[in-house]
């Protein structure tokens, strides 16, 4: 490396090193320098016509180096799926395709990458590296598709359906639930959804999460409860502009809150050791109190929820006792 030798032989040596230890980030950086020394200077306009400048590679050779290196990474990702350096280097290669290849060729490589990451997630559906990589691939495809394929539409709808598929195959897929929550505001905006359509959408999402929660009411699975928390955040007194129903009236919010409290109380039967139910009941009670000064929930119920929560979650006992004093129990 110190000698500055940029040859295929040195590239082969970095391959051998990285196959043994892919955490060796210095070698990844040197591999980048090696490939850049093989590539033409400048942007893709240099190689758009397939010419081969002096001491540089033509378009086909650049494409081959990128594809070969992407292929080299696959066995490493299977063996080391949580290695940051492999994922970072893979994104660098894909970015180089945009920089150095004609847009149509780069789009083809990124499109294949979307199919590939889908296969990766089918093998390890909760790999957060894979989900982060997929988000980057989708956003880039949307950016470059305008030039490569002007008729391409937004991928939001397809990605939302993909989260549904992944959730149905594994209810504990936190990354899928999280991705879903981030797609919803854009999805509804692109659909130009009316108030009625948004309300229907919210009702269906509650049905989805309720079915998942009822499948195992005593589950300690945080992913389901975090998504439930996302849905009930629509009932906060000052809901975000990106909420599913930003113009929901106070009366409708209270109606939703009381429906959720009833459903969660029913869920408590046989699941008395699930702290998440008590915590969500208290969240809803606080929302109800903030929206309406008339306290409709019996203080004995709230006291019982806090007492049970303090027993199930003793590490946060001080927090629950403080909540008890705030709610005048």
Give the residue among 70, 77, 116 at the shortest CA–CA distance from 94.
Answer: 70
CA distance 246 to 252: 12
- Residue-wise pLDDT for 24-75, tens only, equals 999 999 999 999 988 876 555 444 444 444 434 578 889 999 999 999 999 9
Walk along the chain (329 residues) and give the pLDDT tens digit of each residue: 566 677 889 999 999 999 999 999 999 999 999 999 888 765 554 444 444 444 345 788 899 999 999 999 999 999 999 999 999 999 999 999 999 999 999 999 999 999 999 999 998 988 999 999 999 999 999 998 765 554 457 899 999 999 999 999 999 899 999 999 999 999 999 999 999 999 999 999 999 999 999 887 666 778 999 999 999 999 998 877 789 999 899 999 999 999 999 999 999 888 889 999 999 999 999 899 888 767 667 888 889 999 999 999 999 989 988 888 877 65
**What whole-number distance in Å separates Cα of residue 281 and Cα of residue 277?**
6
Place of tokens 């992407």: 70
Tell me which residue of 208, 205, 228, 326 sits closest to 274, measured CA to CA: 228
Which position has the token pair 């009366």? 251
DSSP string, 244-292: S-TT--HHHHHHHHHHHHHHHHHHHTT-TT-HHHHHHHHHHHHHHHHH-
CB 70 within 8 A of CB 96: no
Buried b (16+ CB within 10 A) or exposed e, 27-43: bbebbeebbeebbbeee
Rounded CA-CA distance 202/256 in Å is: 11
For residues 28 and 5, give the distance between their C-alpha atoms in angstroms, rounded to a whole number: 15
pTM for the model: 0.86
What own/partner pairs with CB < 8 Å and gap ≥ 24 does 145-152 have? 145/107, 147/103, 148/103, 148/104, 148/106, 148/107, 149/107
Angle at 126 between CA 125 and CA 129, to 5 degrees: 105
Structure token pair of residue 219: 């589950």
Give Cα separations from 55 to 4, 40, 66, 243, 253 (angstroms).
16, 8, 18, 56, 68
Helix (H), strand (E) at residue 11: helix 8-20
Query: CB of 262 within 8 A of CB of 211?
Result: no
């Amino acid at each position: 490396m110190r000698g500055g030798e940029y040859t295929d032989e040195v590239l082969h040596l970095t391959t051998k090193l990285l196959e043994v230890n892919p955490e060796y980030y210095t070698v990844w950086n040197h591999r980048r320098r090696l490939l850049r020394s093989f590539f033409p200077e400048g942007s893709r306009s240099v190689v758009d016509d397939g010419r081969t400048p002096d001491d540089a590679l033509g378009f086909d050779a650049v494409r081959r180096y990128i594809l070969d290196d992407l292929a080299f990474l696959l066995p490493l990702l299977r063996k080391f799926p949580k290695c940051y350096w492999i994922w970072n280097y893979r994104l660098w290669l894909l970015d180089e395709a945009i920089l150095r290849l004609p847009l149509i060729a780069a789009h083809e490589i990124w499109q294949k990458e979307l199919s590939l990451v889908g296969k990766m997630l089918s093998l390890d559906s909760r790999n957060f590296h894979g989900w982060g990589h997929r988000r980057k691939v989708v956003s880039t495809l949307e950016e470059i598709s305008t030039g490569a394929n002007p008729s391409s539409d937004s991928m939001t709808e397809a990605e939302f359906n993909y989260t549904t598929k992944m959730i149905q195959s594994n209810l504990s897929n936190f990354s899928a639930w999280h991705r879903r929550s981030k797609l919803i505001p854009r999805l509804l905006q692109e659909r130009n959804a009316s108030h009625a359509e948004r309300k229907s959408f919210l009702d269906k999402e509650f049905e989805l999460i309720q079915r998942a929660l009822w499948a195992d009411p005593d589950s300690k699975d945080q992913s389901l409860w975090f998504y439930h928390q996302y849905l009930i955040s629509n009932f906060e007194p000052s809901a975000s502009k990106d909420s599913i129903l930003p113009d929901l009236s106070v009366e409708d919010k209270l109606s939703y809150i009381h429906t959720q409290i009833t459903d969660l109380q029913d869920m408590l039967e046989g699941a008395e050791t699930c702290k998440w139910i008590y915590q969500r009941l208290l969240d809803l009670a606080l929302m109800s109190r903030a929206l309406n000064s008339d306290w409709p929930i019996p203080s004995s119920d709230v006291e019982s929820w806090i007492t049970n929560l303090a027993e199930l979650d003793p590490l946060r006992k001080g927090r629950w006792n403080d909540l008890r004093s705030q709610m005048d129990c």
